[in-house]
């Protein structure tokens, strides 16, 4: 993207954001809204600055859960998609899996995991993130390993290529952009899953705990400060995914799409 | 000269002996793709396969390539079984879609068959550059496939098919997706390349002028079941250039091929009437 276009793209949302915050501030001041109903942006900002260290440590706790789950889920997803391919059960398994993934709110499993481990354990949340990332990676990578161009397979056969060579020189390179697509989807999903998992109880150290608990204690501005922390963490993970996407685009002219579930 | 070489000189490039191919035998979707096909191709010969869609041209080519096996009969390539010839990489293959690997640069695409043959890096890199010069794309070695036009991609695919200097080239409508001008240009280049390397070519096409311009012999096939109905000899000599396309002999060949194809049409129509 050239600088000129970057400005064209960045200016409208920036203007909108500033106007939004100013309007918010004006409404809260003008109608004299009570802080327990809606705090003013200025009050939220003060609470954010005052509680910065707390917000940061909570963001790190949630971020660590998201990151560990993201990495573990990715590794597991890749491994299982290879196993399924090895045993030729990709076709039968993956499509129903993709549908189930969209239809079933597997996030509720976090309550089950919570019950299995000590209440001070981070494992249930990480398991939850891992599980959700696992499915996203599995569905996409499996697709990349499977949807190989028929001409490529015939060429490899005409070269008398070994099954291993077909894997390393055709299927895996074919699946790589699908993996990046999966990560692009999975990175923001991992953060959201980590937050939501923290709502379900367990250790009280993440953003997903502090946001509702501060609201419950009528410390609304502080709760909103944690919301800012959540936004920043989400943005960080989103940036990771944007970087991943640009890598795909650099490697290929037009990146083939993966499943955007 | 060793006895082997003497044998090699007289050996046929391709022998197809009473080959039948049935897909999905004894199932409701059974297809008799080829029935009792006989065809012998001499070394250095350029043979085209032409016929209505579904008459088994691609199937015949795939049988020669040993990408699939025959239901009955046998196929010999370079005096050995087609399967053995494939293991020895005795042929190169090109399809209608160039089928370049998007994640490999142009030069690495051409190197792939050599890599799989176990050539060392320096040797295969040198050969790949040689092939790129042959197809007149030397400055595109480092480009990625998507940066090339369709015609250029097809040339890379041909360079890749010829990279290991195979004695046999199998092509399935390789110019089918190209515009007419590029197509004629590529035809001329292909003839030059094959003449220079004395490569035998089996070439599937739907275009009568293309078959006439390129071939020493045009094999005309009919569908259901796929059979060879006629083989048209094309007497245009070995030095063919743009002038050839204007020559009377060229038009005579086109007419001969067209009439052979018309015969199939008429037979099909008659067959349809008889069935009622
Ligand atoms: N793998 C397969 N399984 C089942 N049937 C097949 C298979 N491959 C080809 N056929 C059938 O065999 C017949 C011949 O097919 P083939 O692809 O050889 O035709 P073709 O002459 O190359 O046609 P076209 O000119 O359209 O490329 C067709 O009826 C086709 O449906
Ligand atoms: Mg065909």
pLDDT, tens digit, for every residue of A213-224? Answer: 888 887 888 888
Does any domain span residue B5?
no
User: Which pLDDT score, from 0 to 100, does residue B113 have?
Assistant: 94
CA-to-CA distance for B39 and B17, rounded, in angstroms? Answer: 7
pLDDT over 90 (residue B179): no
Chain B residues inside the 8 Å CB shell of A168? none
Q: Is there a domain that residue B203 lies in?
A: yes
Q: Based on the domain organization, do B172 and B271 belong to the same domain?
A: yes
Judge: B103–A254 Cβ closer than 8 Å, yes or no.
no
**Cα-to-centroid distance, B152 and ligand 1 (Å):** 28
Q: What is the pLDDT of residue A260?
A: 37
Distance CA A82, CA A62 (A): 30
pLDDT at A181 > cutoff 90: no
Among B100, B99, B108, B168, CA closest to B132: B108
Three-state DSSP state, A122: coil
> Are the Cβ atoms of A161 and B99 closer than 8 angstroms?
no
Q: Judge if B268 and B142 occupy the same domain.
A: no
Mean pLDDT of A169-188: 90
Per-residue model confidence (pLDDT) at position B133: 87
Confidence band for B268, pLDDT divided at 50, 70 and 90: low
The ligand placed nearest to the CA atom of residue B207 is 1
Answer whether residue A118 shows pLDDT above 80. Answer: no
Closest-lying ligand 1 atom to the alpha carbon of residue B60: 18
Nearest to B113 among A159, A251, A252 (CB): A159
Which candidate from B116, B146, B147 shows the least CB-CB separation from A159?
Answer: B116
What own/partner pairs with CB < 8 Å and gap ≥ 24 does A225-232 have? A225/A44, A225/A47, A225/A48, A225/A50, A225/A51, A225/A55, A226/A55, A226/A58, A228/A44, A228/A48, A228/A55, A229/A48, A229/A55, A229/A56, A229/A58, A229/A59, A230/A59, A230/A62, A230/A195, A232/A59
Mean of pLDDT values over B221-226: 88
Domain ranges (residues) in chain A: 52-254
Determine the atom of ligand 1 nearest the C-alpha atom of B49.
21
Residues of chain B with Cβ-Cβ distance to A155 below 8 Å are 93, 99
Number of domains in chain B: 2
Helix pair angle (A172-199, A220-251), 10° resolution = 180
Nearby residues of A40 by Cβ (< 8 Å), 6 or more positions away: A24, A25, A28, A29, A33
Is B140 domain-assigned? yes
Q: Is B22 in the pocket of ligand 1 (CB under 6 A)?
A: no
Residues B57 and B137 in one domain: no
B156 shares its domain with B172: no
B57 CA to middle of ligand 2, Å? 6
Q: Are residues B261 and B203 in the same domain?
A: yes
Residues B139 and B210 in one domain: no
Q: What is the pLDDT of residue A1?
A: 56
Which CATH number characterizes residue B237's domain? 3.40.50.300
**Contact, A212 vs A220, CB < 8 A?**
no
Question: Which residues line ion ligand 2, judged by CB < 5 Å?
Answer: B 58
Residue of B nearest to A249 (CA): B103
Mean predicted lDDT score pLDDT of chain B = 86
Report CA(B60)–ligand 2 centroid distance (Å). 9
| Per-residue CA distances from B163 to A136, B33, B98, B177 (Å) | 40, 31, 15, 22
Residues of B with CB under 8 A from a CB of A: 62, 65, 67, 86-89, 91-93, 95, 97, 99, 101-104, 112-113, 115-117, 144, 146-147
- Mind listing the pLDDT tens digit for each residue in B187-203? 988 898 888 888 999 99
**pLDDT at residue A79 greater than cutoff 60:** yes
Task: Return d(Cα B201, Cα B181) in angstroms, integer.
Answer: 22
- Count of other CB atoms within 10 angstroms of residue B197: 14
Q: Per-residue pLDDT tens for A6-42?
A: 788 888 888 998 999 999 989 988 888 887 788 888 8
Q: Residue B266's pLDDT band (boundaries 50, 70, 90)? A: low
Closest-CA residue to A206 (of A241, A233, A186): A233
Output the pLDDT for position A90: 63
Tell me the best of B20, B30, B31, B172 to mutate to test the pocket of ligand 1, counting ligand atoms within 8 Å of each CB and taking the most.
Answer: B31
Least CB-CB distance to A155: which of B99, B102, B104? B99
Q: Which stretches does DSSP call E strand in B135-199?
A: 168-172
**Residue A45: pLDDT over 70:** yes
Is residue B1 pLDDT above 60, yes or no? no
| B27-76 confidence digits (pLDDT tens) | 888 899 899 999 999 998 999 999 999 899 999 999 999 999 999 999 99
Domain that holds residue B151: 100-165
Is there an atom of ligand 1 within 6 Å of B33 CB? yes
Quote the minimal CA–CA distance from B104 to chain A in Å. 9
Same domain, B219 and B252: yes
* Calpha distance B184→B174 (Å, rounded): 12
CA distance A188 to chain B (A): 27
Q: Ligand 1: does its nearest atom lie under 6 Å from the Cβ of B187?
A: no
Q: How far, in Å, CA of A84 to CA of A96, rounded?
A: 14
Rounded CA gap, A231 and A236, in Å? 9
pLDDT band at B265 (very low <50, low <70, confident <90, very high): low
Q: In this model, does residue B274 exceed pLDDT 60?
A: no
Cβ B227 under 6 angstroms from ligand 1 = no
Report pLDDT for B109.
95
Task: Inform me whether the pLDDT recorded for B2 exceeds 70.
Answer: no
pLDDT digits (tens, 9 = 90+) for B70-117: 999 999 998 899 999 999 889 999 998 899 999 999 999 999 999 998
**Cα–Cα distance between A101 and A95 in angstroms, integer?**
10
A154 part of contact set with chain B, CB < 8 Å: yes
Q: Which helix (H) or strand (E) holds B74?
A: strand B72-77
Report yes or no: A131 and A73 within 8 Å, Cβ to Cβ: yes
CATH tag for A52-254 (out of 3.40.50.2000, 1.10.443.10, 2.40.128.120, 1.10.3720.10): 1.10.3720.10
> Among residues B35, B31, B37, B2, which one has the least CA distance to residue B17?
B37
Cβ-Cβ contacts under 8 Å, B89 against chain A: 158-160
Pairing of strands B217-222, B227-233: antiparallel
If asked whether residues B203 and B251 sit together in one domain, one would say yes
Residue B231 located in a structural domain: yes
Question: CA-CA distance, B4 to B110, in Å (whole number)?
Answer: 31
Residue B19 within a domain: no
- Please give the pLDDT value at position B9: 46
What's the confidence (pLDDT) of residue A33? 83
What kind and span of H or E run contains A50?
Answer: helix A41-50
| Distance between A88 CA and the closest CA of chain B, angstroms | 20
Residues 6+ apart with CB under 8 A from B239: none
Q: Which of A199, A191, A85, A182 is nearest to A135 (CA)?
A: A182
Q: Measure B205 CA to ligand 2 centroid, in angstroms.
A: 8
Q: Is the CB of B48 under 6 A from ligand 1?
A: no
Q: Evaluate: CB of B168 within 6 angstroms of ligand 1.
A: no
Ligand 1 atom nearest the C-alpha of B206 is 25
B10 inside domain: no
Cα separation of the two ends of chain B = 63
Nearest residue of B to residue A172, measured between CA atoms: B103
Any domain includes B105: yes
A236 has a pLDDT exceeding 60: yes
Protein residue with least CA distance to atom 28, ligand 1 = B54
pLDDT of A115 over the 90 cut: no
Indicate the SS3 state at residue B15: strand
Q: Same domain, yes or no, for B186 and B261? A: yes
From B26, B27, B33, B35, give the residue whose CB has the most ligand 1 atoms within 8 Å, as the site to mutate.
Answer: B33
A7 vs B103: CA distance, rounded Å: 32
């Amino acid at each position: 993207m050239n600088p000129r276009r970057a400005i064209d793209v960045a200016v409208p949302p920036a203007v909108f954001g500033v106007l939004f915050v100013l309007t918010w501030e004006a409404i809260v001041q003008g109608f004299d809204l009570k802080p327990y109903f809606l705090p003013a942006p200025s009050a939220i900002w003060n609470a954010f600055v005052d509680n910065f260290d707390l917000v940061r440590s909570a963001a790190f706790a949630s971020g660590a859960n998201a990151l560990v789950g993201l990495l573990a889920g990715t590794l597991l997803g890749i491994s299982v998609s290879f196993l399924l391919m090895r045993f030729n059960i990709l076709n039968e398994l993956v499509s129903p899996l993709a549908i189930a993934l969209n239809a079933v709110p597997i996030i509720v499993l976090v309550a089950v995991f919570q019950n299995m481990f000590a209440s001070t354990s981070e494992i249930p949340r990480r398991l939850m993130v891992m599980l959700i990332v696992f499915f996203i990676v599995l569905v996409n990578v499996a697709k990349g390993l499977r949807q190989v161009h028929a001409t490529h397979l015939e060429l490899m056969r005409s070269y008398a290529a070994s099954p291993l060579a077909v894997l390393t020189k055709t299927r895996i390179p074919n699946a790589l952009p699908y993996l990046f697509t999966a990560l692009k989807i999975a990175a923001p999903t991992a953060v959201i899953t980590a937050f939501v998992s923290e709502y379900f109880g367990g250790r009280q150290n993440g953003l997903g705990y502090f946001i509702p608990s501060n609201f419950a204690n009528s410390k609304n501005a502080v709760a909103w400060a944690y919301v800012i922390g959540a936004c920043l963490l989400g943005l960080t993970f989103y940036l990771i995914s944007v970087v991943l996407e640009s890598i795909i685009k650099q490697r290929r002219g037009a990146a083939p799409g993966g499943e955007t579930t | 000269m060793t006895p082997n070489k003497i044998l090699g000189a007289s050996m046929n490039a391709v022998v197809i002996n009473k080959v039948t191919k049935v897909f999905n035998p004894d199932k409701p979707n059974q297809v008799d793709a080829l029935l009792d096909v006989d065809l012998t191709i001499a070394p250095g010969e350029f043979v085209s396969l032409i016929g209505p869609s579904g008459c088994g041209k691609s199937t015949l080519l795939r049988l020669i390539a040993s990408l699939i096996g025959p239901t009955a009969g046998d196929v010999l390539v370079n005096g050995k079984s087609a399967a053995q010839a494939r293991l020895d990489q005795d042929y190169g293959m090109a399809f209608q879609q160039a089928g370049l690997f998007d994640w490999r640069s142009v030069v690495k695409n051409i190197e792939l068959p050599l890599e799989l043959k176990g050539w060392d890096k320096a040797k295969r890199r040198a050969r790949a550059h040689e092939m790129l010069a042959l197809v007149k794309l030397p400055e595109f070695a480092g480009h990625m496939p998507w940066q090339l036009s369709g015609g250029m991609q097809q040339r890379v695919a041909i360079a890749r098919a010829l990279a290991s200097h195979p004695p046999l080239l199998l092509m399935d409508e390789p110019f089918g997706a190209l515009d007419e001008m590029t197509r004629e240009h590529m035809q001329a280049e292909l003839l030059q390349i094959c003449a220079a390397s004395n490569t035998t070519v089996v070439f599937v096409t739907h275009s009568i002028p293309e078959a006439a311009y390129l071939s020493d012999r045009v094999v005309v096939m009919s569908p259901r079941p796929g059979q060879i109905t006629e083989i048209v000899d094309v007497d245009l000599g070995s030095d063919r250039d743009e002038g050839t396309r204007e020559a009377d002999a060229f038009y005579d060949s086109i007419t001969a091929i067209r009439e052979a194809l018309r015969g199939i049409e008429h037979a099909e129509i008659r067959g349809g009437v008889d069935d009622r």
